[in-house]
């Protein structure tokens, strides 16, 4: 390592470190820790859903019966019994040998990035997409491009056009109750995307942490189930058991499994064996089949409360979608408003959200914002949405603009502004002026 001549610090940061930015969500979460703030910002599962008694019994059993193995170093692939359980849970024929247990699915994103992305190689993402994936890929210095999406997810015709001129290492896609928009790809879109990806030779990285959290009907089959050799699948125990376990998994084709495993070894040797054993104990005898419906029922009631409060309080010109599962509602403010500018005013009134601009790889829509409906109680949801609506109304008065939704203008070529259900698009209202704190 060389030292800087002009600086008093001996530390010289790697180029890639400059590409690592603080998560805007974590920064906002710090503000929301202030007492009295109702936060719709974090994507935190409701602690009411954590099966504490089952964990207590499982921890005791693992320590009683299996302590020396549970507390020892272990295989990088993960615990055999957990890999088998994962393979059996999935709705296509999965060989447990293709399952890699990871330290959260976030680690899956990091490992996939490490083995598939070169500097300046092209990576495609939905518009908008999961901020944590943008953060995980950024240090590998790819050219990340958002593909055009609508309320059914990826616009396959636009994708074909995008890939026609230049190939990409993969397309990162969240077909179920997407973070941040809450949208779900219907069967017809999945079939089209799967076929197009096969024809184009475009690998898919499918991320599915929310798929079990459906409210009315299960979502269609994952993309990976249609073409396991052309897809990497990421799953997580964070939303169905507890995120503090840091347990997720990757299902990878044979062609790349060994490389992923090497990346995993280099990263952390293995995911904690104790946690893996505890989860195997908890999941024995079909626990998830009994437990997950209770999460669905709770989150559905919270979604309904938020939709009801939005209908009751929001001024004209604010638009939002109706997610059929997951944890998030996607909102678009009236013409002329910026979610980033609105946030401090909302916090002053005791409510927080995440400005949508954080979730765009490029050409952000400054009018969008994400609301999580799962962490706050129904009473807090009503109070928080009322406060947010008041902030928006006051801001509209301040702007002096009629609270009327503008006609969507033409989209620039190859750029994607996702319109979640009921949402229009306004590429002119881009967030390029948002400032560095929102770039990720
Ligand atoms: C889309 C998506 N992928 C991955 C993750 C990471 O989840 P975990 O590492 O807890 O499994 C999250 C977390 O919220 C997410 O929303």
Q: Picking from 235-244, 374-383, 410-419, which range would have the lowest pLDDT averaged per residue? A: 410-419
Q: Is residue 159 scored above 50 in pLDDT?
A: yes
Assign domain 69-287 one CATH number from 3.30.950.10, 3.40.50.300, 3.40.50.970, 3.40.640.10. Answer: 3.40.640.10
Q: Locate 391 and state its tokens.
A: 């902030």
Return the ∠ at Cα 148 (arms to 314 and 439), rounded to 5°: 70
Q: Over 50: is that where the pLDDT of 139 sits? A: yes
User: Which stretch of 18-32, 136-150, 275-289, 317-331 has the lowest confidence by average pLDDT?
Assistant: 18-32
Cβ atoms 329, 370 nearer than 8 A? yes
Nearest to 178 by CA among 423, 425, 418, 426: 418
Q: What is the domain partition of the chain in residue ranges?
A: 15-50+289-438, 69-287
Other CB atoms within 10 A of residue 413 CB: 8
Give the residues surrounding ligand 1 with Cβ less than 6 Å away: 43, 104-106, 130, 132, 174, 179, 207, 209, 236, 238, 243, 248
Q: How far apart are CA 299 and CA 347, in angstroms?
A: 24
Q: Distance between CA atoms of 57 and 53, rounded to whole angstroms? A: 6
Question: What ligand 1 atom has the least distance to the C-alpha of 238?
Answer: 10
Please report the pLDDT score of residue 30 as a whole number. 77
Q: Which two tokens stand for residue 39?
A: 């936060």
Spacing, Cα 9 to ligand 1 middle (Å): 35
Atom of ligand 1 nearest to the CA of 43: 14
Q: Rounded to the nearest whole angstrom, what is the distance from the C-alpha of residue 137 to the centroid of ligand 1?
A: 14
- Average pLDDT over the chain reads 89
Portion of the chain with pLDDT greater than 70, in percent: 88
| Gap between the Cα atoms of 424 and 330, Å rounded | 12
Residue 174 main-chain phi, psi, to 5 deg:
-120, 90
Q: What is the DSSP string of 182-242?
A: -----HHHHHHHHHHHHHHT--EEEE-SSTT-BSSSPPPPPHHHH-GGGEEEEEESTTTT-
Q: Is-same-fold flag (15-50+289-438; 69-287)?
A: no
Say if residue 403's pLDDT is above 60.
no
What is d(CA 62, CA 279) in angstroms, rounded to the nearest whole number? 10
Which pLDDT score is estimated for 430?
35
- What is the per-residue pLDDT for 271? 98
**Span 15-50+289-438 CATH architecture:** Alpha-Beta Complex (3.90)
Q: What is the 245 CA–ligand 1 centroid distance (Å)?
A: 13
Closest atom, ligand 1, to C-alpha of 247 = 11
Predicted local distance difference test score (pLDDT) of residue 437: 28
Distance from the alpha carbon of residue 209 to the mean position of ligand 1, in angstroms: 6
Q: Is residue 140 a contact partner of residue 112, using CB atoms and an 8 Å limit?
A: no
Closest ligand 1 atom to the C-alpha of 108? 9
In total, the chain counts a number of residues equal to 440
Distance from Cα 238 to the centre of ligand 1, integer Å: 8
With beta carbons less than 8 A apart as the criterion, state whether 252 and 98 touch.
Answer: yes
Q: Mean per-residue pLDDT for 164-179?
A: 96
């Amino acid at each position: 390592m060389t030292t800087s001549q002009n600086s008093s610090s001996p530390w010289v940061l790697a180029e890639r470190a400059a590409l690592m930015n603080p998560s805007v969500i974590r920064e906002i979460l710090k503000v929301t820790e202030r007492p009295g703030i109702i936060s719709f910002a974090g994507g935190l599962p409701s602690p009411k859903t954590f099966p504490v008694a089952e964990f207590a019994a499982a921890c005791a059993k693992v320590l009683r019966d299996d302590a020396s193995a549970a507390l020892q170093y272990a295989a990088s692939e993960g615990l055999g019994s957990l890999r088998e359980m994962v393979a059996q849970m999935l709705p296509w024929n999965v060989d447990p040998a293709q399952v890699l247990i990871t330290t959260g699915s976030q680690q899956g994103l990091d490992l996939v990035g490490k083995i598939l992305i070169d500097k300046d190689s092209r990576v495609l993402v939905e518009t908008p997409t999961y901020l944590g994936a943008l953060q995980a890929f950024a240090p590998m210095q790819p050219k990340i491009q958002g593909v055009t999406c609508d309320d059914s997810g990826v616009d396959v015709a636009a994708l074909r056009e995008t890939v026609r001129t230049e190939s990409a290492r993969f397309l990162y896609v969240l077909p179920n109750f997407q973070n941040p928009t809450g949208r779900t790809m219907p069967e017809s879109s999945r079939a089209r995307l799967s076929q197009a990806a096969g024809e184009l030779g475009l690998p898919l990285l499918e991320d599915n942490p929310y798929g079990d959290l459906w409210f009315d009907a299960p979502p269609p089959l994952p993309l990976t189930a249609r073409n396991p050799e052309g897809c990497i699948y990421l799953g997580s125990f964070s939303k169905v058991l507890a995120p503090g376990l840091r347990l997720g998994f990757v299902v990878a084709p044979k062609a790349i499994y060994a490389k992923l495993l090497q990346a995993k070894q280099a990263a952390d040797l293995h995911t904690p064996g104790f946690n893996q054993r505890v989860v195997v104990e908890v999941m024995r005898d079909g626990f998830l089949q009994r437990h997950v419906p209770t999460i669905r029922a709770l989150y559905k009631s919270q979604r309904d409360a938020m939709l009801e409060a939005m209908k009751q309080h929001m001024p004209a010109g604010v638009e939002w979608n109706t997610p059929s599962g997951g944890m998030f509602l996607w909102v678009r403010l009236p013409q002329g408003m910026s979610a980033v500018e609105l946030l401090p005013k909302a916090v002053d009134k005791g409510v927080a959200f995440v400005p949508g601009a954080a979730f765009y790889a490029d050409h952000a829509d400054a009018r969008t914002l994400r609301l999580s409906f799962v962490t706050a109680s129904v009473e807090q949801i009503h109070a928080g949405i009322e406060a947010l609506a008041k902030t928006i109304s006051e801001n509209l008065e301040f702007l002096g603009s009629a609270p009327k939704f503008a006609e969507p203008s033409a989209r620039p070529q190859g750029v994607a502004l996702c319109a979640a259900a009921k949402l229009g698009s306004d590429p002119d209202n881009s967030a390029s002026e948002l400032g560095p704190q929102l770039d990720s």
